């Protein structure tokens, strides 16, 4: 008769072994996932972020340029005022030393009334005899005292003006440092993002394929452009001669430039002094409007509603400009960016 045996149940020890093995496998899988190579960043996403950061960096750079321009003006103004104060103090000292000891004492004490002098005099007749000469001397001293008081008022005013200028300079210096820190912060963020990409992709984003301001034609031969006139011709030639020069924020040449710095340098070669920032340049000269078809070679084309970028019209529907960090001076179609104003220098 066949025997029917019940299946043998696995021991608790075997179950523990299987459980431990499974747990180990899960742990190893998780560990392997954790150490897997990070996913390659999406180039388009990085490009969009970098474009935004570099545009913000250019805005901050123009704020820096404006703060620096104002700080430089204030330093000169403060130095001039301090020179005036020093000269005024010398004049004050000379006036004071020219007074007699008696007149100086009268000035310090507010003066002594002549009738009181007569009352206190031990020899009134002698005093009256000499009154005429005293009056003449007193008149001279009175004029000197008046000059002394006037000079003191001017000196006090100059000191007050100098103190106000120095106070504004302190504020402007802080604004300058804040703008500089903002620029460096944006650049650091952009560089951190770009570091995730290959060298080829980085170059494509910064130069060939970056923001719309980076898109350009090939190097332009000035002989193919319409002829500018007067000092505009000199400025156009100067700007075009810097094609290929690197963009560096805050730079005004002669080998590196930011956007407004290129305009300043180019027109300086023609003997024209432009304001330092793109915002100030957007209010300089004659307003031509926003239709680039009315532009002439040498006109400044200022972009965006806040006017944080500027280029120079060179004819044939092109401007020459310094685009942004990582790029070089180049040309682009004049209507690539939103035009805020066109100014004739």
> 136: pLDDT confidence band, cut at 50, 70 and 90?
low
Which residue of the set 4, 293, 308, 321 is catalytic? 321
Is 309 noted as a catalytic residue in this protein? yes
pLDDT at 250: 96
pLDDT above 90 (res 276) = yes
> 14: pLDDT confidence band, cut at 50, 70 and 90?
very low
Is 308 noted as a catalytic residue in this protein? no
**What b/e readout covers 62-99, taking b as 16+ CB neighbours within 10 angstroms?**
bbbbbbbbbbeebeebbeebeebbeebeeebeebbeeb
Return the higher-pLDDT residue of 146 and 124. Answer: 146
pLDDT at 212: 55
SS3 301: strand
Domains detected in the chain: 43-108+132-194 (1.10.287), 212-344 (3.90.1720.10)
pLDDT at 145: 74
DSSP string of 107-133? HHHT---HHHHHHH-S-HHHHHHTHHH
pLDDT above 80 (res 113) = no
Distance separating alpha carbons of residues 263 and 161, to the nearest angstrom: 34
pLDDT at 207: 75
Distance separating alpha carbons of residues 136 and 143, to the nearest angstrom: 11
Return the higher-pLDDT residue of 291 and 201. Answer: 291
Which residue of the set 4, 35, 259, 293 is catalytic? 259
Looking at the chain, the whole-number percentage of residues with pLDDT higher than 90 is 59
Looking at the chain, the whole-number percentage of residues with pLDDT higher than 70 is 72
pLDDT at 243: 97
> Tokens representing 179?
């703008």
pLDDT at 257: 98
What is the pLDDT averaged over residues 43-60?
Answer: 92
- pTM of the predicted model, to two decimals? 0.71
pLDDT above 80 (res 153) = yes
Distances (CA, A) of 263 to 35, 100, 272: 52, 62, 10
SS3 285: coil
Distance separating alpha carbons of residues 321 and 337, to the nearest angstrom: 12
pLDDT above 90 (res 67) = yes
Lowest mean pLDDT: which of 17-26, 215-224, 254-263, 316-325?
A: 17-26
């Amino acid at each position: 008769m066949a025997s029917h045996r019940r299946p043998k149940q696995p021991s608790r020890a075997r179950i523990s072994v299987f459980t431990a093995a499974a747990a180990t496998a899960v742990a190893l899988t998780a560990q392997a996932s954790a150490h897997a190579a990070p996913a390659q960043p999406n180039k388009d996403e990085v490009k969009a972020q970098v474009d935004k950061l570099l545009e913000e960096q250019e805005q901050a750079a123009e704020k820096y340029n404006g703060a620096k321009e104002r700080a430089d003006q204030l330093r000169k103004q403060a130095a001039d005022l301090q020179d005036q104060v020093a000269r005024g103090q010398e004049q004050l000292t000379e006036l004071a030393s020219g007074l007699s000891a008696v007149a100086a004492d009268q000035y310090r004490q507010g003066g002594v009334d002549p009738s009181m002098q007569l009352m206190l005099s031990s020899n009134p007749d002698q005093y009256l005899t000499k009154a005429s000469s005293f009056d003449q001397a007193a008149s001279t001293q009175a004029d000197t005292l008046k000059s002394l008081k006037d000079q003191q008022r001017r000196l006090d005013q100059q000191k007050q003006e100098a103190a106000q200028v120095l106070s504004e300079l302190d504020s402007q210096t802080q604004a300058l440092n804040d703008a500089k820190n903002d620029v460096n912060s944006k650049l650091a963020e952009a560089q951190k993002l770009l570091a995730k990409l290959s060298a080829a992709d980085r170059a494509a984003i910064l130069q060939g394929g970056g923001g719309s301001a980076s898109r350009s034609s090939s190097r332009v031969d000035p002989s193919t452009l319409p002829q500018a006139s007067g000092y505009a011709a000199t400025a156009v030639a100067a700007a075009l001669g810097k094609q290929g020069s690197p963009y560096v924020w805050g730079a005004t040449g002669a080998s590196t430039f930011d956007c407004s710095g290129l305009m300043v340098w180019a027109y300086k070669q023609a003997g024209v002094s432009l304001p330092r920032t793109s915002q100030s340049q957007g209010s300089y000269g004659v307003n031509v409007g926003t239709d680039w078809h009315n532009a002439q070679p040498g006109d400044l084309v200022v972009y965006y509603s806040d006017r944080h970028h500027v280029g120079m019209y060179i004819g044939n529907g092109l401007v020459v400009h310094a685009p942004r960090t990582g790029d070089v001076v180049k040309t682009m179609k004049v209507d690539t960016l939103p035009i805020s104003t066109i100014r004739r220098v």
